[in-house]
Every structure is written in structure tokens, then in C-alpha cells.
Structure 1
Amino acid sequence: MRKLLIGIPIMTIIFCLFLVYNHKQLPTKDDVFKITANWSPKTEEVYMVREIDGDWLTIFKNSSTTIVSRLEQNWLGFWEFKDDLGSESSLVSTHYPRETDLDFTWNASGRDHIPISYYFGQINNPKIQEIKIEIEKDIFENALVIDTGGARFFFLKSERQTLLPINIRGHSESGILIYSTVKKWMLK
């Protein structure tokens, strides 16, 4: 009985130390590989794990898709993917560009029940230095351009519903329009 009375507080202390230790750990690329270990196709590369506007985000790819996910800790302190509704899901993805003659690949993702949209893409044209996304008629926001060393991406989280047609513009460093997803004749 004495061993039991001593063992319970010791196990409680060890468990609490485990929780404190886990909750102090920042997410790593290894966490992304662990989360996606059973995915098919397999994760080939994790481009980055970074805190952006208070959220831990990761960009990673498999053989055909580049994906953005938000990382959150569960109650045990282990990292997992969570979307805005608390589901285990990614935020947005786009196809992995096999062709390098595309200026950029992109996709947008919206949420039905809440006014949030995500815009994401991979920039292939080195002349494109700035991405602007139309979030309301004739109102553009600058997307965050992320350089991971091996690839360049753009990402924007908007607190508005997705506006159709989606107008994403790629500009040079001097502001010259290089590419637009909406052709000029559609803008009139």
C-alpha cells in the first residue's frame, strides 16, 4: 500500500513533466514527416515550418501536390494538422509543377461556414517578386512571398469569402505586371 501511495504522486509528477516538456517543443520538419507517414503518396520534401501571423504553418510536397497546413499541438503536446474548423486537414494545396515554363501554379480554398479564404501557389518565374490578390472588386492585397532556398511560394489568408473570378497578379520588383490569372479582356 505504501508503494502505491508513493508511486501515484511520482507517476503524476513524471506525467506533468512530460506534458510541460512536450508543450514547450516547437514544430519541426520531422513532425511533418511523422504526421504524414501513412499518407499515399509519401511526403518527399518539407520546404518549411514557420510561424506566420501567430500560426505555425508548413509547406511540403509529395509527387504531385504542394500543400500548406497549419500545425497545432494536441493536449499531449504532439503536433498535428488542423484547419479553421478544428478538423485534421490541410488549408490549401496546388499541383506540383513539373513544367518550369509556367509563371506560377496556384489554388484558392474557402470555408463554407466562415468568411476565410486561402490563396497559395508556387512561383516559378524568377522575375516575379510580388503577388497581389484581388479580395474585393478592385481591392488587392499583397500575398506573403516565401523563399525556402529551393523554391518560392506565395500565401495569403483573407478574412473574406473567395471572390470569383480569382484575380492573382505577379509583378516584377519595379511593379511591372508579368502575369495575371484574369486576362485583360475579362477586366473590362
Structure 2
Amino acid sequence: MQQQINILSALMAPFLLLLFPLCAAASDQHVTVHPGDDVTLRCEAGDVSIRAVEWTRPDLEPQYVLLYRDGRSDPTLQHPSFTGRVELVDRELKDGDVSLTLKNVTSRDSGRYECRVKSGGSRRTKRANIKTDPIRVIYLEVTDSEKENYMGGNTESEHPVNGNFPRGHVGLAAGGVAVLLVAAAVFVVWRYKRC
């Protein structure tokens, strides 16, 4: 029996290592909207005491889309193109909701958006830059509906404006692969026992 477990472990290890990057990629989200729409970029920090929230676009300088600290938005480091166009969905940050609403999008808003949160005590946040990995990465694409439909893309009804796409396509695929691997492993053990 121990030999069967060793064989199964040796067969499963490489496949399980392949699943980890797939699960990490499942946290990335792709959102497609049309020019002039408002969009909500979803980000949840969990049940923590939030001291600061950063929404950034790494390709811009300055990169801040929104910086929220000390209980209010801080526009001093914000990229000028977002002035007056962004706000947190819940300014009280209840239940860790740090989602961002971006109003009247244009094609220049297409890009990678990163959400970061600093949690902890209630003392003031002096530094602007939160030195952690993003808890959510969203790729926003602003596309003209005629061009999108011509290119064989999805219609607006299939991609809601608020960014609530069906999540986990990659995670679902990873789960499917995991189920197939377990089924294959069970088959190998069963076949080995028969021999």
C-alpha cells in the first residue's frame, strides 16, 4: 500500500505544481466597458481594520488613481486624469469593501489597476506608498461597442458595466484539471492493485 501511495505522489506532484499559478491568476479580473460608462472595480480587503487604500495604474506617473488615508481621499498624489472621476463605493469601508467607481471612462482609462490596503491600528498613515502585493489586479478595457462586436467580442449585456463578471474561469479550469488528475490517480491505483 505504501508503494502505491509513493507512486501516486510521484504522479501527482508535477500536476499540483501547475495548479498554483492557475489559482493565483484566478484573482485577476478583466473588465470591458464602453466610452462614457461608469464602472465599478471590485476589491475586498476582508475583515480587517483599514488604515489606507491605494488604487494605482503602474503605467502612469504619478500612478495613483485614488489614495485614501486618514479617513478621506488624498488628491495630492493623484494622476490628474482621475481628478473628480473616482470614488470609493463605500467611504466607510464597511466589511472591507474598497471597490472603486470610475466615472465617464475613456479609452485612456484602459490598463492595469491594482488595489492595495494597509491594515492595522488607528494611527495616522504618513507614507503614501503601501509596500505590499496588490490584493486585486483588474485589467480594464474601454472599447467602442461597434468595434467590439465587429471583432467578435461580447455584447454589453454579457459584460455588465459594473465589472461583476462571472469570476473564476481560470479557477474553474484549474478545478476541472484537479478533478481529472484525481480521477486519473484513482484509476492508476485501481489498475495497479489489479496487477
The alignment's TM-score, normalised by the length of structure 2, stands at 0.29
Larger of the two Rg values belongs to structure: 2
The alignment's TM-score, normalised by the length of structure 1, stands at 0.30
Identify the structure with the greater helix proportion: 2
Identify the structure with the greater strand proportion: 1
